[in-house]
Structure 1
Amino acid sequence: MYQKGIISTLVIILIFATIIFAIKTYYSKLPSASSQKVISQIERYPNGTNWQINNDKKFCQYYINRCLEAPAELIFKSENKWADIYNYYKNKQRDKDWKTESHITTSIPTSIIFTSNTYIENMNCQILVKQKKDNLLGLLEDKNTQTFIISSFCLPD
């Protein structure tokens, strides 16, 4: 009797794991070539380290997380504060004809979004710059450096 309960539990866990794996595999997408092009042309932050471009498959399903396309991501670390990163990219991307509605009122926004429909012909592209939140309550993180993420995706006009 006891063994039947263990076997039944293991079978149910195995079925759920298989379903989750199948859904994640089926609904994972690679970033488009346009998104990868945009992210590869982002200017490096001068004091940034560990510059990594992530073009891996990501879970992307519209009815669950409103995802139309998987973003390409650029991840880097810096000892500078978010305010410095925010101002640097706000000025750099504006110089390259990217538009943003972001402005500082009483405090610095937690992210900044740039849009352009002229950067790549017939594509509406978006760049999101934000600070990555600490995981595991920041116990494994170096307190002097912070992680920042820049993601991009492009959709046809």
Structure 2
Amino acid sequence: MHTMSELREVLEEMVSGHLPDQGHFVVEVKISPQGDQTLLSILIDADQGVTIDTCAKVSRAVSNEIEDKNLIENAYRIEVSSPGVDYPLASERQYIKNIGRELKVLLQDGKEVKGKLLTVADGSITLQVKKKEKGKKATEEETSHALEDIKKSIVQVSFK
């Protein structure tokens, strides 16, 4: 019997093995016991976006492998999806995918920064932030933040 974190690791590796190509990656694998069932929530993403078809294929392949290896003893449900727009960015790769978009970034020190994501490199991001002072024209400045200083970043969806 695996511990939760061992099982999560095994599943992450398994999911990675069933992704269609290098453009896809695992964002998160969550294991939540629900009564007599276990829910496996698997989030995958791709540099070009994830299709429902890919989610279905990964789901089937992972299910078959869980059965073959007898990994989970009780009943389980598996959900494979891509992170929604409101899901915080988790990896440098997800930041890269969102270059050019507006982000709302919550820093570890409690400060909040909103700006357009310009670059992602060497574990930090650069944002273009509008600064507005009373009675003056808004100016823009670039600010850099190390990924480890960021509590969470959410892409701001604009419907213009």
Q: Give the TM-score taking structure 1 as reference length.
A: 0.33
Q: Give the TM-score taking structure 2 as reference length.
A: 0.32
